[in-house]
């Protein structure tokens, strides 16, 4: 198979998310898959063995859920990927879609109970954030509203308790948790103070059980906590091993599935609540994107590694499901690199071509978020660059998740420049080690990574041979004026206020401030309907490039913050590889 056929085959190979089943009908599951050529919602009747496609939309569908009884599949109906729309529901075995009677908006969480009630979070410009109780046959009722960011975290199985994440204290980066009754009465609040987030995961999967599984940061990392909001009782689940932790309930409510992420890999264990013991669960070396316990006590999980394509497996030892079709070609294993940086030790991941010993042309592929991380999972984009003869370097810069609260919280004040300082430290080390050719370096990334790409090209113009920025922020102030409400809350938390309150910070961290210093050729990819990194502020940046005659290209596509359509993803990857070939000499 030729290199181009190989990398395209990885994008085309059918993939699926971990099936999520109904608590009271565990043979009924929903998942999302790209088998149709776009990511859509599917229903799977495990007992009968039948599978059907629930949604079929030109731009794909990004949200799907199943109610605890297994009767209704919920999905979000937006317009061409703009994330603005309303929830719909459809019977599990098919039938007409029913729109939920709420004004359109941006989705902010969904909670479904076994009683047929739903709790829906929405955000709308000028109206802030609202949480609505939706009952069959009744008008929706607003049970919470606030100008600061809020979303639905969880709903108890019987629908009597509703957990919401909120930032009434003004810091959307570190939310608090509140539990309400159906009519909005406050049952309990959980807030650990400035700089310490509290997140709701899931109520115990038993009727009448008030216990809420949450995450706290009291010891400098995410750890599980079982909280009874009525009595105030709290039980912290402490694990000796390093890394950040999340968890889920086993069906009997007596055990927790503990998921620990450390240095870009995932480890599972079962925690026995009555006895307090941890029991490791053996899985393959790599990354588990999602995991959940089945009623029989087994655990199903979605797994991959940098070298091996995704699979959905069970601890029973069998494959859970397959969509058929051609399998994805494998890629190269990931190497770990640790570098001492200006803010502490930086963990980076390196993927090298199989041929040659370096120095290689290299793409620094920066992740989005910024509260996200790169890991040892299978990424078709990384494999495509390796097939072209590039080494790929991914840096978990300050602000990334997975390395504790202090590392994530270090991103404040001099935003953008902090991350790039870490990228520079890794770049210098890998050049010294002979991995990267300093004259053939490409800076690239999407979303926050696209923002860092533009900022890096303007503030480090001699360092990069070319830049590729996908759906970037080019101007924080201009983006703030157009972006979705949740992103505005995040912007205020990250930069210490609005553009009017912090004009110097917004300007100092904006790529457009440094656009006249850009020297490298630049490719920008932008979504026409992007509510996160609006295209208007990108157009203003491009106009500045054009005004000075700088070499640049723009690839516009008819979707939002990324595309759910396989052919479009291939077209975007092809545009990036072609651009790199024309501006950076390769060895293949």
343 burial type by CB count under 10 A (0-12 exposed, 13-18 middle, 19+ buried): middle
Taking only the tens of pLDDT, the chain with its 588 residues reads 788 999 999 999 999 999 999 999 999 999 999 999 999 999 999 999 999 999 999 999 999 999 999 999 999 999 999 999 999 999 999 999 999 999 999 999 999 999 999 999 999 998 999 999 999 889 999 999 999 999 999 999 999 999 999 999 999 999 999 999 999 999 999 999 999 999 999 999 999 999 999 999 999 999 999 999 999 999 999 999 999 999 999 999 999 999 999 999 999 999 999 999 999 999 999 999 999 999 999 999 999 999 999 999 999 988 998 777 889 999 999 999 999 999 999 999 999 999 888 899 999 999 999 999 999 999 999 999 999 999 999 999 999 999 999 999 999 889 999 999 999 999 999 999 999 999 999 999 999 999 999 999 999 999 999 999 999 999 999 999 999 999 999 999 999 999 999 999 999 999 999 999 999 999 999 999 999 999 999 999 999 999 999 999 999 999 999 999 999 999 999 999 999 999 999 987
What local confidence, expressed as pLDDT, does residue 11 receive?
A: 97
What local confidence, expressed as pLDDT, does residue 358 receive?
A: 87
Contacts of 415 (CB under 8 A, 6+ apart): 494, 495, 505, 509
Q: How many CA atoms lie within 13 A of 416 on its CB side?
A: 30
Q: Is the pTM of this model over 0.95?
A: yes
Q: Characterize the bridge pairing of strands 436-446 and 466-470.
A: parallel
- DSSP bridge partners of 155: 162
What local confidence, expressed as pLDDT, does residue 345 receive?
A: 98
Sheet holding 72-78, edge to edge: 64-66, 72-78, 85-91, 98-99
What local confidence, expressed as pLDDT, does residue 553 receive?
A: 98
Sheet holding 162-166, edge to edge: 150-155, 162-166, 176-180, 186-190
Maximum pairwise Cα distance, the chain: 69
Q: Characterize the bridge pairing of strands 522-527 and 466-470.
A: parallel
| CA quadruple 245, 246, 249, 253: dihedral, nearest 10 | 50
End-to-end CA distance of the chain: 15
SS3 content of the chain, % helix, strand, coil (to 5): 20, 35, 45
What local confidence, expressed as pLDDT, does residue 330 receive?
A: 97
Written as six digits, the tokens of 514 are 């440094």
Secondary structure, 3-state, 109-175: EEEECCCCCEEEEEEECCCEEEEEEECCCCCCEEEEEECCCEEEEEECCCCCCEEEEECCCCCCCCC
* Contact predicate 223/245, CB 8 Å: yes
Q: Interhelix angle for 3-12 vs 566-583, to 10°?
A: 150
Q: How many CA atoms lie within 13 A of 111 on its CB side?
A: 28
What local confidence, expressed as pLDDT, does residue 189 receive?
A: 98
Contacts of 48 (CB under 8 A, 6+ apart): none
């Amino acid at each position: 198979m030729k290199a181009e056929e190989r990398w395209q085959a990885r994008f085309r190979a059918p993939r699926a998310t971990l099936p999520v089943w109904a608590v009271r009908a565990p043979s009924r599951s929903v998942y999302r898959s790209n088998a149709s050529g776009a990511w859509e919602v599917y229903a799977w009747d495990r007992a009968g063995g039948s599978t059907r496609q629930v949604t079929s939309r030109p731009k794909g569908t990004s949200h799907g859920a199943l109610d605890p009884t297994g009767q209704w599949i919920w999905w979000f109906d937006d317009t061409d990927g703009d994330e603005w729309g309303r929830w719909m529901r459809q019977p599990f075995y098919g039938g007409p879609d029913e729109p939920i009677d709420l004004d359109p908006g941006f989705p902010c969480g969904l909670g479904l109970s076994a009683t047929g009630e739903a709790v829906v979070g929405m955000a709308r410009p000028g109206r802030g954030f609202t949480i609505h109780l939706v009952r069959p046959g009744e008008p929706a009722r607003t049970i919470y509203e606030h100008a600061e960011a809020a979303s639905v975290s969880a709903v108890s199985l019987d629908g009597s308790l509703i957990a919401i994440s909120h930032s009434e204290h003004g810091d959307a980066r570190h939310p608090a948790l509140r539990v309400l009754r159906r009519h909005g009465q406050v049952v309990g609040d959980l807030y650990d103070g400035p700089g310490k987030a509290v997140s709701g995961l899931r109520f115990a999967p038993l009727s009448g059980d008030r216990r809420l599984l949450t995450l706290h940061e009291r010891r400098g990392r995410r750890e599980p906590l079982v909280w009874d909001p009525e009595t105030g009782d709290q039980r912290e689940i402490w694990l000796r091993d390093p890394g950040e932790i999340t968890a889920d309930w086993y069906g009997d409510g007596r055990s927790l599935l503990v998921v620990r992420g450390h240095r870009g890999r995932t480890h599972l264990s079962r925690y026995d609540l009555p006895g307090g013991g941890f029991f490791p669960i053996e899985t393959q070396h790599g990354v588990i994107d999602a995991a959940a316990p089945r009623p029989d006590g087994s655990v199903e999980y979605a797994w991959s590694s940098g070298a091996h394509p995704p699979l959905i497996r069970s601890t029973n030892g069998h494959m859970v499901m397959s969509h058929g079709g051609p399998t994805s070609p494998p890629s190269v294993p990931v190497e770990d690199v640790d570098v001492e940086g200006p803010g502490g030790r930086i963990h980076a991941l390196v993927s090298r071509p199989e041929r040659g010993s370096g120095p290689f042309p290299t793409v620094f592929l920066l992740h989005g978020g910024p509260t996200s991380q790169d890991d040892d999972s299978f990424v078709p984009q990384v494999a495509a660059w390796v097939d072209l003869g590039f080494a790929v370097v991914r840096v978990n810069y300050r602000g990334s998740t997975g390395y504790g609260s202090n590392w994530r919280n270090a991103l404040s004040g001099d935003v953008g420049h902090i991350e790039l300082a870490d990228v520079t430290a890794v770049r210098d080390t890998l050049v010294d080690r002979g991995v990267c050719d300093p004259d053939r370096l490409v800076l690239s990334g999407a979303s926050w990574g696209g923002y860092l790409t533009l900022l890096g090209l303007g503030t480090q113009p001699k360092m990069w041979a070319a830049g590729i920025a996908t759906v970037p922020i080019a101007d924080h102030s201009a983006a703030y004026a157009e972006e979705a409400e949740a992103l505005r809350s995040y912007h205020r938390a990250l930069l210490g206020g609005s553009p009017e309150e912090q004009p110097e910070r917004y300007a100092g961290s904006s790529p457009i401030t440094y656009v006249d210093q850009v020297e490298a050729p630049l490719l920008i990819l932008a979504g026409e309907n992007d509510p996160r990194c609006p295209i208007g502020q990108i157009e203003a940046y491009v106009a500045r490039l054009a005004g000075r005659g700088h070499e640049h290209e723009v690839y516009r596509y008819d979707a939002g913050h990324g595309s759910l359509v396989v052919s479009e993803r291939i077209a975007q990857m092809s545009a990036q590889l072609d651009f790199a070939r024309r501006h950076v000499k390769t060895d293949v």
